[in-house]
């Protein structure tokens, strides 16, 4: 029996949030998806502040993070996640429209576990999100506690 898991999705595009959420829920592995629509909200989640001050203190099984975000960009959020004693081992996948070599390099330097460029085709995007979820939630093995 597979354990159902929580995900934290950081994305500023409502259509992408809906598409990613739908695709991940099709895996039947996800119990809950928290989302933030800008980098500051993401930092609030990491530090249990703002609207996330009362969130359950356990870590999500996966963080899906866009790079180009309002207020604070995703690479800054990634750096803060990796500096957090509590969250530094949570897998972080950058799912972004950026295909710029410097974004990839910085993402991996800051501790990204994967860098996925969003496909432009709706069906391909949905399939990529589903496969991403299945790999990180089903195939990848995480420590029991982190």
What is the reported pLDDT for 23?
80
Overall fold of domain 5-139:
Rossmann fold (3.40.50)
Nearest to 118 by CA among 97, 94, 135: 97
- Report the length, in residues, of the chain: 146
* 10-residue mean pLDDT series, the chain (146 residues): 71 88 76 90 94 88 91 95 92 87 93 85 73 68 61
Number of Cβ within 10 Å of residue 41's Cβ equals 23
Residue 135 DSSP SS3: helix
Residue 26's pLDDT is 75
């Amino acid at each position: 029996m597979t354990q159902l898991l929580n995900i934290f999705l950081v994305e500023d595009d409502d259509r992408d949030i809906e598409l990613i959420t739908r695709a991940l829920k099709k895996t039947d592995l996800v119990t809950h998806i928290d989302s933030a629509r800008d980098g500051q909200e993401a930092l609030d989640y990491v530090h249990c502040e703002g609207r996330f001050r009362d969130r359950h203190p356990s870590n999500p099984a996966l963080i899906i993070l866009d790079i180009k975000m309002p207020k604070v960009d995703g690479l800054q959020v990634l750096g803060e996640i990796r500096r957090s004693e509590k969250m530094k081992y949570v897998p972080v996948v950058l799912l972004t429209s950026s295909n710029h070599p410097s974004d990839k390099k910085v993402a991996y330097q800051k501790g990204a576990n994967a860098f996925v460029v969003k496909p432009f085709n709706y069906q391909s995007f949905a399939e990529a999100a589903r496969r991403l979820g299945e790999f990180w939630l089903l195939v990848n093995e995480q420590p029991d506690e982190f």
